[in-house]
Amino acid sequence: METEKGSVKKVAMQYGLILGLVSVLLSVIVYALGQTYEQPWWQSLLSFVIMLSCIIYALKAFKESNGGFLSLGEALKVGLATALIAGIIGVLFNMLFVTVIEPDFAANIVEKASSDMVEQNPNMTEDQMEMAISITEKMVSPGVMAAMGIILSLFFGFIISLISGLIMKVEKPAHLE
């Protein structure tokens, strides 16, 4: 049992670091292309494909190190731990980004959201506009962004791990336990 826990930790750390660093690299590329505030569709798609690949490779690596066996529980542990490590790296980068690299990020997001609201709904009342801006300001606060980053990473990590684990699982026969 102890060996398995060590394997989960080792595999999750390795693939979580890879996933986190590649995700940060993707964010830097989007920033360098000047598309940070647009959130291009291809960034979301590529992020998902990268996460899917890293978690599947992590499950394969764990399965190989575990004698070819992988239970659904182990798949969930490996996948969620991988997603958590990557999520923490992503949150740390985002904190660095919004405080050092682009300190006006929150203000710029609120400004863009305001202009988009006026453009999409010119009949919006002043009260509706203030409420929408207030919600937007709360959503781009560092604490909410950090929490959402971790929650989304774990959510997608869970879904990917669950489906991949169901496909890849090979239970240990009772006589080998």
Q: How many CA atoms lie within 13 A of 119 on its CB side?
A: 6
Beta partners for 70? 170
Whole-number pLDDT of residue 3: 43
pLDDT at 139: 86
Q: Distance between CA 92 and CA 99 in Å, rounded?
A: 11
Q: Which helix (H) or strand (E) holds 43?
A: helix 41-65
Q: Which two tokens stand for residue 78?
A: 């490996």
What is the C-alpha to C-alpha distance for residues 74 and 108, in angstroms, rounded to an integer?
43
Interval 6-34 mean pLDDT: 93
User: How far is C-alpha 29 from the geometric centre of its chain's CA atoms?
Assistant: 17
Residue range 87-126, pLDDT digits in tens: 999 999 999 999 999 889 888 888 888 888 888 887 888 8
Collect all residues with Cβ–Cβ distance below 8 Å to 56 and sequence separation of at least 6. Answer: 160, 164
Q: What is the DSSP string of 105-130?
A: HHHHHHHHHHHHHHHH-TT--HHHHH
What's the pLDDT tens digit per position in 33-90?
988 888 889 999 999 999 999 999 999 999 999 989 999 999 999 999 999 999 999 9
- For the entire predicted model, the pTM comes to 0.86
Return the higher-pLDDT residue of 51 and 143: 51
